[in-house]
Structure 1
Amino acid sequence: MTAPRMFVWSIDETAGFDTAWATIDGSRLEADGRAAGLLPRPYWIEYRLETDDAFATRSLEVRSRWLDGSAQRDLRRAAGRWTVDGEPRPDLDAALDCDLAACPLTNTMPVLRHGLQIGPGDHSFVMAFVEVPSLRVVVSVQRYTHLRTTADGAVVRYRSGSFQSDLEIDADGFVVAYPQLGRRVVPAPLGDGVRAAGPGSARPG
């Protein structure tokens, strides 16, 4: 099992962010995340994701809140069948993955399952796409194509309908940059004007 890693992505599309603690154990991924945005309306969400031993979604639990409402969804996949809030969703049964809108973490599963961060591949997928902030679950057909390797990972082209973006992926399969959506935040070294203020914190000196 790898040590848990924390990721923060700045999301231009929603004028917000996505954060996640993610752990890989063999071919399993577990993650707990939070996200917030100002577009299309101010919202925040919390989610927990678990995959099976082939990086295919086992469960996604999501809660969403906005100014005058809220929603929650419990997606489960077992024996090739999906349920949403306990109700069968046969329209999703061709899907192996969920895709939570504006959350780059969920691009990781198809990349890792097919090794697109390390070598060639061109694959079409059916996804259980979760809209944000409504959490409506719809079918989405997507394509991932390895374009080239880089010093730090790979560039993988994502396509869905008329939308296309060339994702920068690190060597572990996680999104670094997602043109037209956002990019991962990389902390800058602390300058001379910043001093530590106890474990895990910093403040102006």
Structure 2
Amino acid sequence: MVRSVVWVKPEGAEIAEVEIAAGRLTASGTAIGAGPPPYRLEYELTTGDRYVTARLLVETYGTDPETGPWRRWLELVNRPEGEWSVSARAEGRVAMPPPGGDAAALRGALDCDLGLSPLTNSMPALRLDGDGPAEHLMAWVSVPDLAVVPSRQTYERVRRDGGHLVFRFSSEGFQEDIEFRDGLVADYPSIGRLAGITGS
């Protein structure tokens, strides 16, 4: 079943159409953010078995008050043998790092992690057997510039609150508890909070 999900964020919002079934996740979504610079973002995500990322396509765009419109594209593909490919391009001038990154540095990563999006926290949480902790190598995508770097992250299931599961997320000196409902983020305090869901 496809669910329509809305998250509100400290400086923006995101809406996505998400399907989780038979060990796979597919989604498409739109986000807006205050930046800097302010941006609009569109994405498409597909996984293979066990929620392992197969492809992420992202586009961001906005208007710089001094240099005018800008736009960026990124495509990440994770092949079954663990080899990633990274394709990126940019139009316009804006003070951000270039999009893309070193595909070789992502070798062995199972998941993408789209910056400031609650959606991509679902894959490692759905895959976790037992209470953990479990360490993951992620292909982390910075937003809105769409630069890609490897990121080591740890997920540990710490408690159940009614129908909600709470995972402790840790990465490079950062730690926060994330609440999930039916495989989707319900509350990730610094990133986003579930505001509405239909089709569940």
Q: Which TM-score band (shorter chain)?
A: 0.7 to 0.9
Work out the CA distance in 2 between the residues paired with 1:40 and 1:122.
34
TM-score, length-normalised on structure 2? 0.85
| Structure 1 counterpart of 2:97 | none
1:173 paired to 2:183: yes
Q: Which amino acid aligns with 1:10?
A: V
Give the conservation status (yes or no) of the 8 Å contact 2:5–2:196: no
Q: SS of the residue aligned with 2:144?
A: coil
Per-residue CA distance 1:116-174 (angstroms, 9 max, x = gap): xxx5221111100001000011111111111111202211011111111100111x211
Q: SS of the residue aligned with 1:95?
A: coil
Work out the CA distance in 2 between the residues paired with 1:63 and 1:128.
16
| Structure 2 counterpart of 1:80 | 82
Q: SS of the residue aligned with 1:111?
A: helix
1:102 paired to 2:116: yes
Per-residue CA distance 1:68-93 (angstroms, 9 max, x = gap): 31110110000210000189711101
Q: SS of the residue aligned with 1:147?
A: strand
Shift in CA distance, 177/76, structure 1 to aligned 2, threshold 3 Å: same
Work out the CA distance in 2 between the residues paired with 1:32 and 1:82.
21
Kindly state the Cα deviation for residue 24 of structure 1 after the two structures are TM-superposed.
Answer: 1.6
Give the conservation status (yes or no) of the 8 Å contact 1:97–1:126: yes
Structure 1 segment 176-191 matched on structure 2, within 5 A: 176-186=186-196
| Structure 2 counterpart of 1:113 | 127
Bigger Rg, which one: 1
Structure 1 segment 21-170 matched on structure 2, within 5 A: 21-67=17-63, 68-78=69-79, 79-85=81-87, 89-115=103-129, 119-170=130-181
Work out the CA distance in 1 between the residues paired with 2:192 and 2:50.
27
Q: Which amino acid aligns with 2:18?
A: A
Q: SS of the residue aligned with 2:122?
A: helix
TM-score, length-normalised on structure 1? 0.83
| Structure 2 counterpart of 1:20 | 16
Counting matched residue pairs gives: 179
Work out the CA distance in 2 between the residues paired with 1:168 and 1:143.
15
Work out the CA distance in 2 between the residues paired with 1:132 and 1:181.
12
Q: Where do 5+ consecutive residues of structure 1 fail to align? A: 188-205
| Structure 2 counterpart of 1:193 | none
Give the conservation status (yes or no) of the 8 Å contact 2:18–2:28: yes
Question: What is the identity percentage for the equivalent residue pairs of Structure 1 and Structure 2?
Answer: 39
Give the conservation status (yes or no) of the 8 Å contact 1:11–1:182: yes
Work out the CA distance in 2 between the residues paired with 1:167 and 1:53.
24
Kindly state the Cα deviation for residue 35 of structure 1 after the two structures are TM-superposed.
Answer: 0.4
Q: Provide the alpha-carbon RMSD of the alignment.
A: 1.6
Give the conservation status (yes or no) of the 8 Å contact 1:66–1:133: no
1:8 paired to 2:10: no
Per-residue CA distance 1:36-70 (angstroms, 9 max, x = gap): 11122210110000000110000000011021311
Q: Where do 5+ consecutive residues of structure 2 fail to align? A: 64-68, 89-100
Work out the CA distance in 2 between the residues paired with 1:43 and 1:180.
19
Work out the CA distance in 2 between the residues paired with 1:75 and 1:16.
24
